[in-house]
């Protein structure tokens, strides 16, 4: 049996590193993209993974069609997780909207014209369903739940990152509708707040940075301060569970066009802070974002939030 190749766009990032680890462990050749191959400090941790002899590091700018075409060649599976997760940006159009939306559109046209692709998995975001996250959509009330069946909600008042992810997902849905006879499946996963320990020691991980802020109750801007002031419910999913969901989405057939919410439990930010400091939460877990579809069709059993938060800093 020939070994399959997966191309992982953003394969050295926080989630991407776990994707690389998972696919290597499952016997795939992995082609992982990085934005700057000269910065080996950003991907050297991947070289230490088991089966790393089946790993190739490739420099890629998702806005560059020629580079995209070369990257996708030879891949049976492509995982797109290469859009920037940035909460502080000087130019949202240049730093977020262009690479996120235009990069997605370029990618879709590239895979459509590349022979041999069997499955495409997009790593979207909970923002694909609700750009107000962690707040509820305007039409929801405290105690309500959100699932994939709800009408997607976007607001011009939401953070530019969330708006960019929402619009990129709409571009994917439009592409699927416009091309009903694709020779491959497209599946999307939409994680909520991704928590857990990073595989690398990189200091530029926004996900690890958010956990650091919550652990130490730091608010570098009004957006984060609002989380503490309102003690918002923060929906959590373990980074390993996200990688598991992506692998299942890539290998299970007959799920073309699906978008799976990846979510475990929700807690107020005050309880998240306690658990990050290895203390017990004061309240009980809630389910704000439902995970029924991912459990049923992808077979995922999500870790409790406390497990994920305790693993962020296991030596503390």
- Indicate the pTM of the whole model: 0.94
Peptide bond into 134 cis (omega under 30): yes
Specify the higher pLDDT residue, 11 or 2.
11
Question: What is the spatial distance between Cα 262 and Cα 125, in angstroms, rounded to a whole number?
Answer: 9
Confidence at residue 83, expressed as pLDDT on a 0 to 100 scale: 60
Structural domain spans, the chain: 5-194+236-263
Q: Give the integer Cα–Cα distance in Å for 204 and 10.
A: 14
Tell which residue, 122, 90, 75, 76, has the closest CA to residue 103. Answer: 122
pLDDT at residue 82, rounded to an integer: 58
User: What is the distance between the alpha carbons of residues 18 and 212, in angstroms, rounded to a whole number?
Assistant: 20
Note the CATH architecture for domain 5-194+236-263: 3-Layer(aba) Sandwich (3.40)
Task: Give 159-194 pLDDT, tens digit per residue.
Answer: 888 888 898 999 999 999 999 999 999 999 999 999
CB contact set of 216 (below 8 Å; sequence gap of 6+): none
What pLDDT, on the 0 to 100 scale, is given for residue 316? 46
The per-residue pLDDT for 109 is 93
Neighbour-count burial for 110-127, b at 16+ CB within 10 Å, e otherwise: bbeebeebebbbbbbbbb
Segment 29-85, tens digit of pLDDT = 999 999 899 899 899 999 999 999 999 999 998 878 899 999 999 999 999 985 655
Angle between helices 206-216 and 14-25 (to 10 degrees): 120
């Amino acid at each position: 049996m020939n070994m399959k190749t997966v191309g992982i766009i953003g394969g050295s990032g926080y989630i991407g590193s776990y994707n690389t680890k998972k696919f290597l462990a499952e016997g795939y050749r992995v082609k992982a993209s990085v934005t700057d191959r000269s910065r080996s400090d950003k991907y050297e941790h991947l070289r230490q993974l088991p089966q790393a002899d089946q790993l190739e590091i490739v420099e890629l700018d998702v806005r560059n069609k020629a580079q995209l075409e070369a990257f996708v060649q030879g891949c049976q599976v492509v995982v797109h997780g290469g859009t920037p997760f940035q909460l502080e940006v000087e130019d949202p159009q240049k730093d977020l909207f262009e690479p996120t939306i235009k990069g997605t559109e370029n990618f879709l046209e590239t895979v459509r014209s590349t022979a041999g692709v069997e499955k495409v998995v997009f790593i979207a975001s909970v923002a694909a369903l609700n750009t107000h996250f962690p707040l509820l959509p305007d039409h929801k009330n405290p105690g309500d739940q959100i699932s994939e069946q709800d009408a997607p909600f976007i607001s011009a008042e939401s953070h530019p990152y969330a708006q960019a992810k929402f619009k990129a997902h709409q571009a994917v849905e439009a592409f699927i509708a416009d091309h009903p006879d694709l020779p491959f499946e497209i599946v999307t996963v939409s994680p909520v707040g991704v928590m857990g320990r990073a595989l690398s020691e990189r200091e530029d991980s926004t996900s690890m940075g958010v956990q650091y802020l919550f652990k130490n109750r730091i608010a570098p801007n009004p957006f984060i301060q609002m989380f503490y002031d309102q003690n918002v419910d923060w929906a959590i999913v373990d980074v390993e569970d996200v990688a598991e969901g992506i692998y299942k989405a890539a290998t299970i057939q007959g799920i073309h066009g699906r978008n799976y919410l990846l979510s475990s439990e929700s807690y107020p930010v005050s309880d998240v802070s306690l658990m990050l400091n290895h203390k017990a939460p004061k309240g009980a877990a809630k389910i704000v974002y439902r995970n029924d579809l991912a459990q049923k069709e992808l077979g995922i059993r999500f870790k409790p939030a406390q497990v994920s938060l305790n693993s962020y800093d296991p030596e503390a």
